[in-house]
Structure 1
Amino acid sequence: MAETTRRAVVLGAGGVSLGALLTACAGYGQPADTVAEQEPTQSDSSAPEPTKSKRAKKPAGEELASTADIPEGGGKVFAQQKVVVTQPSAGEFKCFSAICTHQGCPVDSVEDGTINCPCHGSKYNIADGSVANGPATKALAEKKITVDGEKISLG
């Protein structure tokens, strides 16, 4: 009969440990709902039906301001929501991202028909978010707002 060497025992134990580790990490890096939705094996027929995680729905529309809060020919920055609402002409309201496209600084003011970034001096037109003055080269992204009577809501 052959003798079991110390090397064989260590290699065998390492192989078992590696197998256990690979099994434990089989779903690592996948979203939790993907791992939970994997088909059960045939030997596990008593496994409960997988359920999909429910995502929280966004509120119908977060109220930002009253139309009276947005000056004609100007606008207002809403730092917490990271948007800026403008009124280029009477009764026309626009909404844009309040994050400068140059280097990601938040814009901080709306004056003289432009949305202004304090970091490097970029300015954007209040009517369409296009670049009025660099160094930015891309327009601000337009955001959806709803104007219902005197109420301006995001989304």
Structure 2
Amino acid sequence: MSEDLRPDRRIVFQGLGALGVAAALAACGGGSGGSSNAGSTATAGKAGEKLASTAEIPVGGGIVLTDRHVVITQPTKGDFKAFSSKCLHQGFDVSEVKDGTITCTVHGSTYDAATGAVTGPPAPSGGKLPAVKIKVDGDSIVAA
């Protein structure tokens, strides 16, 4: 389609009407600017269910279990932490953990790998990824 035949956003939104605009913004994650999961808690699975091996979690790093929406970190040797992997900005899963930082590469929010506290925007300052209960059982990390 040629560029001069495409309607601009203003025309599209006028055609949608007020309710259509609200629905379109909600679908795009653009309504409130915040995440609907900010107060949620994550569940890693049934108590005792294996999530990872300790060898999979590097010191200062971690892994993201997107199927469970959990991030597991090892801030210092032998100290394992787990948090919801849902970014407080718009609810996308965080994507990496390295050098003591959990990062959501979608928009750049960062979190402390030891506490889950927000360290960089656009996630709201003062926020914290909800903790997830885990325990170490031998060389396995399991849901608690």
Q: TM-score range by the shorter chain?
A: 0.5 to 0.7
Tell me which amino acid in the other structure corresponds to 1:147.
V
Could you list the runs of 4 or more consecutive aligned residues of structure 1 that deviate by over 3 angstroms after TM superposition? none
Equivalent in the alignment of 2:138: 149
Instruction: Give the CA deviation at 1:61.
Output: 2.5
Asked whether 1:74 is paired with 2:85, we answer: no
Within 5 Å, which residues of 2 pair with 1:6-155? 59-137=46-124, 138-155=127-144
Instruction: Please report the TM-score for the alignment, with normalisation by the length of structure 1.
Output: 0.60
CA-atom RMSD, angstroms?
Answer: 1.2
User: Which structure has the larger Rg?
Assistant: 1
Other structure's SS at 2:55 match: helix
Other structure's SS at 1:68 match: helix
Whole-angstrom CA distance in 2 between matches of 1:149 and 1:119 = 35
Instruction: Give the CA deviation at 1:59.
Output: 3.3
Q: Percent identity?
A: 52
Which sections of structure 2, spanning at least 5 residues, go unmatched?
Answer: 1-44
Aligned residue-pair number: 98
Which sections of structure 1, spanning at least 5 residues, go unmatched?
Answer: 1-57
Instruction: Give the CA deviation at 1:139.
Output: 1.0
Tell me which amino acid in the other structure corresponds to 2:102.
I
Instruction: Give the CA deviation at 1:112.
Output: 2.0
Query: Could you say which structure has the greater relative contact order, defined with CA pairs below 8 angstroms and 6 or more residues apart?
Result: 2
Instruction: Give the CA deviation at 1:102.
Output: 0.9
Other structure's SS at 2:116 match: coil
Instruction: Please report the TM-score for the alignment, with normalisation by the length of structure 2.
Output: 0.65
Instruction: Give the CA deviation at 1:154.
Output: 1.6
Q: Deviations over 1:63-116 (max 9, x none)?
A: 011111100111111111110000000100000000001111111111221111
